[in-house]
Amino acid sequence: MTVAHSDRGTQARSVAPGDRGATRIADRVVAKIAGQAAREALGAPLPDSAPPNATVVVHRDTARVRVAVELPYPSDIGGQCAAVRRRVTERVGTLAGMHVSDVAVQVERLLLTHARDVAQGRTR
C-alpha cells in the first residue's frame, strides 16, 4: 500500500482500482459511436443520403441502440442491416465497454440507384 502526504500534513491512502468508482459514459457519446459504426458498415455514402442517426438508451453497462439509415435500392437490404447490427455491437462494446442488448435498424428511405444512373446517362 502506498501512502501519500497532502499539503495539510494528513495522510491519504491509495485506493484500489476496483474501489475508485465508475466511469459513466453519456448516452449521446454512445449514440455517436453507434452512428459512426453504422457509417463504417455501410461504406461510402450515396449522394443525397443522410448520415445514419443513432439513439441509445443505456442502463448500467448495457446499451439498447436504434439506428436510422438510408440504403441504396436495389441492394441486399437484409445483409446491410445485419452488417450495421454487427458493426454497432462490436464498436460500442470495444470503445464504450458496454454490452449491446439490442440494435434496431430502421430503414428511413431507399434511394433508387438505377434511376439516378439512367438520369446521368449510365446504365447497368
Q: Are 100 and 63 in contact (CB under 8 A)?
A: yes
How much is the average pLDDT of 3-18?
62
Domain coordinates of the chain in residue numbers?
A: 23-119
**Domain 23-119 CATH superfamily:** K homology (KH) domain (3.30.300.20)
pTM exceeds 0.85 for this model: no
32-52: per-residue pLDDT in tens?
999 999 999 999 888 889 999
67-113: per-residue pLDDT in tens?
999 999 999 999 999 999 999 999 999 999 999 999 999 999 999 98
Q: How far apart are CA 7 and CA 63, in angstroms?
A: 42
Q: What is the pLDDT of residue 123?
A: 52
